[in-house]
A and B are shown apart, each in its own frame.
Chain A
Amino acid sequence: MVTIYIDGKPYQVDAGQNLLHICLSMGINLPYFCWHPAMGSVGACRQCAVKQFRDENDTRGRLVMACMTPAVEGLRISVQDPQAVEFRASIIEWLMENHPHDCPVCDEGGECHLQDMTVMTGHTYRHYRWKKRTFRNQNLGPFINHEMNRCIQCYRCVRFYRGFAGGRDFDAFSNHNTVYFGRKTDGVLESEFSGNLVEVCPTGVFTDKTFRKHYTRKWDLQTAPSVCVNCSLGCNTTPGERYGQLRRIRNRYNFNVNGYFLCDRGRYGYEFVNSDRRIRQARLRRNREAAFESVAPDEGLQRIKEIVKKSGRTIGIGSPRASLESNFALRTLVGPEHFFSGATVKDHELVTEAIKILRDIPSSMASLHEVETSDAALVLGEDVNNVAPMAAYALRQSVRCKPQAISQKLKISDWDDTAAREAVQDQKGPLYLATIADTRLDDMATRTFHASPQEIARLGFAVAHQISPTAPQPENLDSAALELSKMIAQDLKDAESPVVVSGCSLEEKSILYAAANVVQALRSIGKPARLFLTLPESNSLGLELLEPGSLNQAFAIAREDNVEAAIILENDLYRRSNPALLEAFFKSIPSVIVLDSLDNPTAQKADVLLPAATFAESDGTLVNNESRAQRYFQVFVPQDDIKESWVWLRAIGDALGQEEPGARKTFDGLIADMVKELPFLAPVQEISPASGFRIAGAKIPRQPHRYSGRTSMHANVSVHEPQPPQDPDSPLSFSMEGFLAEPPIEQPPASLIPEFWAPGWNSIQSLNKFQEEVSGPLIGGDPGKRIILPPDPEQAAYFDEIPEPFASRAGELLLAPLYAIYGSEELSIHTPGEAQLTPPLRLEINPRDAQQFNLTGETVLQVSVDSQVFELPLHISASIPEGTAGMICGLPEMPYVALPAWGKVTPKPVNSSTENPG
């Protein structure tokens, strides 16, 4: 800590930190453009000029760029100095020279950093009156709209896209007054983090194209804190609604999880909420042959009462994409012994195993932030770009940690981005990727290893053994893998905070064991290694923590016992199990009750179908892959008969005349009951204040204070203004009235901030007012709490279930699961842009296998696994290991098949009648 003087006032600050970072952290407003809290300084825009004085007697001083000047003991600067103020005003005037006068039609208007900074510097009148330079815009695909005329050349986009996100198809072109940011030619931006350009750009060059289709002003959006449901990482988001439609998703900062960024699947995967396929009314059918009829909710409940009353037993099938509360409500309704996991049988086993590992090994899970700051990483099995994209982003940043030693030795601060990168050049820290095939992270990898799931696990075991000889050793490891394992072990041992990334995507338990062994081995030699496991879905961990039975057990009970009804919670079982098994299951159950939000094959099997709310229409808790429980809040009140699942389940309980335990009538009561029954879930109660929480006696409004049209938006329906909907479940209100946060003076707890806004800071850059320090934790602690804490540091036993070496089979290939960022996930595929980027169905085969099976380029293959037969076009890919084949999981046209599995692959028999005899 050193003391510096800003405008004569002393401040205690970190030595060596740059002055812009310090000023913003201290709450002093200083305009800037090229600096970004996550990307450091480059000193390009000259906007953050302040005056530096030699000592207290120096009155002349000199202008320096705050972002490029480190703090040293006794430093004196002035932000208010007239010359500095004038300098900043003229800089923004230059930047605005070519900026068009189109704020009224600009999508960024009202949340534009350039607008804010222009106002902040006091530049209100333009002197420039000649022609402005203009550009041709590019079509950058379904997510990003391009409007180059608005550009102020801060270079943030290109720095983020190339330097941080690792994209290669975007760059700066031309020079001087005509600098152009874009692709070489029109086309879809390849990076899965391209959506962040919308937030990184300080003005309206890059704007959200999906938002544009149903545009509304930022100040007209009703927002609430939320959590992404499109993968297991639980990135924090801020969805915005207007007039009953979810309009967009923006990033919500969480120091431990996603920081400043989101992936495109999460950012754009919201459109299912507005889908035509939403179930909006209760539906029932008199018998299995009859057609569905829409009914009033009460009639649906009455029917359930009739069904369930006469029955002896009702089973409940939960869901890895439903909230912890809804799953618990179902578990209570049917009883723990009749509550089954709605995940696939394999996922159920794997996640249960992951929980056991997290509970047993004395190392806490790495948060995404810890992955980002680790200096060596080993990835076992996961294609993170497609399974948990933000983990790929974190790993990309992690390779920059170790080489920081080079720049630090040259006394270059870490925030001095250009200089640090120049010093480091192409050097990268250790990152080892063991995956089935190529991944989009390969360009960062020290070495890649493509092999079957078993071989990946065996490599992991070998690495653990190399680190600590007490760890079990795989036998008959081939020499290449042995060499690689030695190299990996050495790099992990040399690191200060190594991380092992693994997960469930290859559906192979031994990979989890191998990853756990590596972490254990590193711990045994005193390295603070951490484990990072990706899980299948947004609440996989939460669901399995409730200890449900497996789906197969549910099927068995349905077959054998006298089960009268099944309640299926937010789950399309056709994505979870073999269709034949499901047909038998539905046949064996007299009544099926389904609660879901989107029409799907399972909903088609329902006898009673209840319309469930999506994440944007409900309150709940999701437990992410590191067991962090995170609360999401209802953004808006859905129309029609849509209700939250736990509300439906409570109503069913009421209809059945069940004794209500405790105060389960309310959301708080439900959580209290849950914690009472399962005490280890106590953190769930602590992650956010209860619904009675008030600030100065007021609720926290979801609508900004500038929300427009309040007295006329519903006037066409009724001129009597309706009372705003009440929210008994949270301290937030569906209104613009209530506690007006005025950061940094007074603001709600971090878990309850509906959107980041501060006076004079309308863009997402207002975050600095909510953080303890720029790019540090939010004031009062980041939302979310871990449920599973590591046990006392005593050595747990190593796992020794080492799989046999992979042996290829004659006439068969091992079908291994591959994933697609757009397509493998159930909900995000309803966004038209994501559907457009979904890869086609195909079977990827190594060229040598293709040759062996006499398969060539354009063939359609017939693939038979167990009793299932699929037709898939052939795709020859050199990165698929010999003896295996890759198949993209979860694509909508593809029926469920449990992978990995051995399959027979033959060319599709050509229909002789279509063959041309000539």
Chain B
Amino acid sequence: MIREILAAFTGLSTTLTSMLDKPVTIQYPEEKRPVRPRFRGRHILHRYENGLEKCIGCALCAAACPADAIFVEAAENTDAERYSPGERYASTYQINLLRCIYCGYCEDACPTEAITLGLSYEVSFAGRDKAVYTKDMLLEPAGPQGKSTPQQTPAGVYTRSVPVMENPAD
């Protein structure tokens, strides 16, 4: 009998202590929970420091995508109108985020590290058609040292699509 009464107090004490703890809930969306560095959120298309796009339109991400959610069309760069280093750039790049399963295979397939899965997890839409992310929505803005694309570039400078790679270390 006494044990039962004591048990009730034990329970109550847990409640009372917890009342004094800092709450674990946060005031989303005013406040946002940080995510782990390897979190796979909404995709970002990156640029080099000078503002040129890293994406070269090779469509390997599209090939790797198990949901067939990426569509890439490539077009040719010229020095007068250059989007990315090398021969081609993505003239169309769209991801159907309704189909995406956030597996990150596109990241793995990318030879220039142009596409990464970012930390943004706020991928909800007011309508299904809003879930189709086009290139201008995915592409990050040019940094402080860079210009936006297309750029006019000197001839013979941006000839390599894939950046020079480090020699494999033994």
Contact = CB atoms under 8 A, between A and B. Distances in A.
Interface stretch (A101-109, A764-772, A830-838): A101-109
Contact of B162 (A101, A212, A219, A711): A101
B42 to A, nearest CB: 15
A215 interface: yes
A694 to B, nearest CB: 24
Given A101-B162, A105-B162, A719-B132, A709 B62 contact: yes
Considering residues B62, B74, B86, B88, which has the most beta carbons from chain A within 10 angstroms of its beta carbon?
Answer: B62
Nearest to A106: B58
B76 interface: yes
B71 A708 contact: yes
B41 interface: no
B111 to A, nearest CB: 4
Question: Which of under 10, 10 to 19, 20 to 34, or 35 or more describes the interface residues of B?
Answer: 35 or more
B95 interface: yes
A129 B167 contact: yes
B138 interface: no
Interface string B85-111: 011100000111011000000000001
A98 to B, nearest CB: 15
Contacts of A302: none
B44 interface: no
Given A105-B56, A105-B161, A711 B68 contact: yes
Given A104-B56, A706-B63, A712 B111 contact: no
B65 interface: yes
Contacts of B168: 125-126, 129
A20 to B, nearest CB: 31
Contacts of A104: 56, 58, 60, 111-112, 161-162
B71 A709 contact: yes
Interface in B2-42: none
A708 B134 contact: no
A740 to B, nearest CB: 16
Contacts, number: 89
A712 B68 contact: yes
B62 A708 contact: yes
A243 B111 CA distance: 24
Contacts of B58: 104-105, 109
A712 B86 contact: no
Given A709-B70, A712-B71, A217 B96 contact: no
A896 interface: no
A574 interface: no
How big is the A interface, by class? 20 to 34
Interface string B33-67: 00000000000000000000000101110110101
A59 interface: no
Contacts of A219: 63
A636 to B, nearest CB: 16
Contacts of A217: 59, 62-63
Interface string B158-170: 0001100101100
A713 interface: yes
Contacts of B132: 712, 715-716, 719
Nearest to A125: B168
A712 B95 contact: yes
Nearest to A736: B68
B96 A719 contact: yes
B69 interface: yes
Interface string A219-247: 11000000000000000000000010000
A799 interface: no
B5 to A, nearest CB: 62
B88 A101 contact: no
A104 B56 CA distance: 9
Contact of B59 (A102, A220, A716, A719): A220
A710 interface: yes
Contacts of B140: none
A829 B72 CA distance: 30
Interface in B112-170: 112, 128-129, 131-132, 134, 161-162, 165, 167-168
A712 B76 contact: no
A711 to B, nearest CB: 4
A220 B65 CA distance: 13
A600 interface: no
Nearest to A213: B76
Contacts of B128: 719-720
B41 to A, nearest CB: 18
A213 B62 CA distance: 20
A711 B56 contact: no
A213 B73 CA distance: 12
A712 B70 CA distance: 6
A263 to B, nearest CB: 27
Given A719-B129, A719-B131, A719-B132, A711 B67 contact: yes
B59 A711 contact: no
B162 A102 contact: yes
B161 A708 contact: no
Contacts of B67: 711
Contacts of B99: 711-712
Contacts of B167: 129
A707 interface: yes
A216 interface: yes
Nearest to B161: A105
B63 A713 contact: no
B65 A715 contact: no
Given A708-B70, A709-B68, A101 B96 contact: no
A212 to B, nearest CB: 8
Contacts of A213: 76
Interface string A99-124: 00111110001100000000000000
A103 B131 CA distance: 32
Contacts of B60: 104
A715 B59 contact: no
A145 to B, nearest CB: 10
B74 A215 contact: yes
A710 B162 CA distance: 27
A720 B68 CA distance: 15
A213 B70 CA distance: 21
Contacts of A129: 167-168
Nearest to A709: B71
A215 B57 CA distance: 10
Nearest to B94: A712
A750 to B, nearest CB: 28
A709 B72 contact: yes
A707 B95 CA distance: 15
- Give me the 10 closest cross-chain CB pairs, A-B, nearest first: A709-B71, A708-B62, A712-B96, A104-B111, A710-B68, A105-B161, A715-B132, A129-B167, A104-B58, A713-B71
Given A101-B162, A719-B132, 5 more contacts: A105-B88, A708-B59, A715-B129, A716-B94, A719-B128
13 contacts: A104-B60, A104-B111, A105-B86, A105-B162, A110-B63, A126-B168, A220-B62, A706-B63, A709-B70, A711-B96, A716-B132, A719-B128, A719-B131
